[in-house]
Amino acid sequence: MVAAAQQADTNASGRPEAIIIGAGIAGMYQLVRLRELGMRVQVLEAGGDVGGTWYWNRYPGARFDSESWTYGYSFSAELLQEWNWPEHFAAQPDTLRYLNHVAERFDLRRDIRFNARVNAAHFDDSTNAWTVTLESGEAFCAPLLISALGPLSAHTLPNIPGRESFAGTAHHTARWPCAGVDLKDKRVGIIGTGATAIQTIQTIAREVGHLTVFQRTPNWAAPLHNRPITAEEQLRIKASYPEIFERCRQTSTCFIHQTDPRKALEVSAAEREAFWEKLYAEPGFGIWVGNFQDVLVDAEANALASAFMAKKIRERVKDPTVAEKLIPKNHGFGTRRLPLESGYFEVYNQPNVRLVDINETPIECITPRGIRTTAEEHELDVLIYATGFDGVTGPYDRIDIRGPGGLRLKDAWADTPRTYLGMLAEGFPNLLMVLGPHTARGNIPRNIEEIVDWLTGLVRHMRGHDQARVETRPEAVQEWADHVEQAAAGLLFSQVRSWQTGVNRNVEGRDVLRVLGYYGGAVAYRRQVEAVAAGGYRELRFG
């Protein structure tokens, strides 16, 4: 710590006015905005380059499920006009190429330190400054700390005995090597069947010699219907960006899809079926967030939607026993983040693919040769962990964040996060969070831009009023906490275990359902945060 403090002192002359942790979509945009205020900013990024999620998640088949033309930054008309998305749902290499282009275009890299994993961030109550220490021991000091950690950056490995003993090649999907992995004709095993696994499985199934999928919980999944963007579409998209982003502003998830005002239980069976067939045949998340308004809140409506989706799986998977295993039984359609797929279910019709339901034959251990279940040993050359993330709060837990009096954020959030608007953490002055817990989440870049703009407004206000410190007020935090709980209460999704409800069985203590997002919708969220700004931030305390 002494060395770290000395280093902090040495940095004092060119001391940044703000430190941003993370150079993904959020951190990059926050840097752009703070520079506009004329601030000196230091971004600290664990990865070797920009991109965050899109830097780390290079697994085969990685691509996003948001329409490409709704995903990019909207702040620069020139950027929008010069960038051509090649597909309606872009693949990871294209998204990373885009973020590299943004970094170059706005000369962002000069303020970013790469390979700089933050270990600790401690607030000094007497100087109102954060000291941020890297894994290397180097430290940086600044009055403001902005976390742009991403809700899905703390990946987790399965807690299966013998993991270290595996003699073949093993990778988590979020740490896929840049050079790729040779899977041709190999015996490959994959643990997990979430959105990541589904993309990986459908992409590698033809290339590998044999694929064994170890499934604990099947997930509902709907067709992505991706395709290239034609030259004509490209022109149309570029001409209509203002309308596209305005449309995203009007929906509750910031996607172009809007919930249908009808109720599944109020229309005829024929109308219901026709609508679901239409949605199933359309690209993107329409079937999830553009469905009948009662599907995600009413158990009966949800059961009907689940039955429709189950029918589709039975139609697509030839072996009825395998089809039944692929149909979720412990959660309804859309109550977990819906994976979108391209031929996923048909993979199980291939002779070289085997589905192992580990509820029937649990994994006992990982051995040097592969995976041993209670029934047999599966010999593998390559093992893929598509086992997900300690969502939302996990990235915060992995940094030793301490506020006044040494209060640890991890302890303060042990039961549940305590925030105001999801952007400030109770008990941690001058810590501003982009996409922290209790913010609206949907089409992520859209959410990020709004949050970053709001935080930038707050920083501008502080600078304009010579304020060195901002923190929450207890009554405002409690009011927000109650509101966040109420907004989540009626949703079927709130009762289902997933990363979105804070459950991760590979992490100790992550087995209780929590509310980690704001589910009153992006429009309501925006209305509330804008009102706080318009009122002069009276709900916050300045010093």
CB of 345 to ligand NAP, least distance (A): 16
- Which of 387, 416, 456, 472 contacts ligand NAP by CB under 6 A? 387
- Residue 454 makes CB contacts below 8 A (sequence gap 6+) with 423, 529, 530, 533
Cβ atoms 514, 416 nearer than 8 A: yes
Strand partners, 186: none
| Per-residue contact flags (x/-) with ligand NAP for residues 367 to 386, judged by CB under 6 A | -------------------x
499 binding ligand NAP? (CB under 6 A): yes
Cβ atoms 297, 493 nearer than 8 A: no
284 binding ligand NAP? (CB under 6 A): no
- Which of 191, 201, 204, 516 contacts ligand NAP by CB under 6 A? 191
Strand partners, 540: 472
- Which of 16, 60, 194, 422 contacts ligand NAP by CB under 6 A? 194
- Sheet holding 187-191: strands in order across? 169-172, 382-385, 187-191, 210-215, 353-357
Name the residue nearer to ligand NAP (CB basis): 59 or 275.
Answer: 59
197 binding ligand NAP? (CB under 6 A): yes
DSSP 8-state symbol, 133: E
Q: DSSP for 450-475? A: HHHHHHHHHHHHHHHTT---EEE-HH
**Closest residue to ligand NAP using C-beta atoms:** 194
Name the residue nearer to ligand NAP (CB basis): 154 or 191.
Answer: 191
Cβ atoms 224, 284 nearer than 8 A: yes
150 binding ligand NAP? (CB under 6 A): no
- Evaluated on CA atoms 264, 329, 156, 420, the torsion sign reads positive
Helix (H, G, I), strand (E, B) or coil at 81: helix
342 binding ligand NAP? (CB under 6 A): no
Name the residue nearer to ligand NAP (CB basis): 18 or 386.
Answer: 386
CB of 221 to ligand NAP, least distance (A): 11
Cβ atoms 102, 76 nearer than 8 A: no
Q: Which residues of 100-113 are buried (b: 16+ CB within 10 A; e: fewer)?
A: bebbeebebbebbe
Name the residue nearer to ligand NAP (CB basis): 220 or 428.
Answer: 220
| Per-residue contact flags (x/-) with ligand NAP for residues 321 to 340, judged by CB under 6 A | ----------------x---
72 binding ligand NAP? (CB under 6 A): no
Tell me, rounded to whole angstroms, the distance of Cα 66 from its chain centroid: 12
Q: How many residues sit close enough to ligand NAP to count as binding (CB under 6 A)?
A: 25
258 binding ligand NAP? (CB under 6 A): no
- Which of 22, 51, 158, 502 contacts ligand NAP by CB under 6 A? 158
Helix (H) or strand (E) holding 357: strand 353-357
Cβ atoms 73, 98 nearer than 8 A: no
65 binding ligand NAP? (CB under 6 A): yes
Name the residue nearer to ligand NAP (CB basis): 109 or 155.
Answer: 155
302 binding ligand NAP? (CB under 6 A): no
- The footprint of ligand NAP (CB under 6 A) covers 63-65, 152, 158-160, 191-197, 199, 216-217, 337, 386-389, 499, 505-506
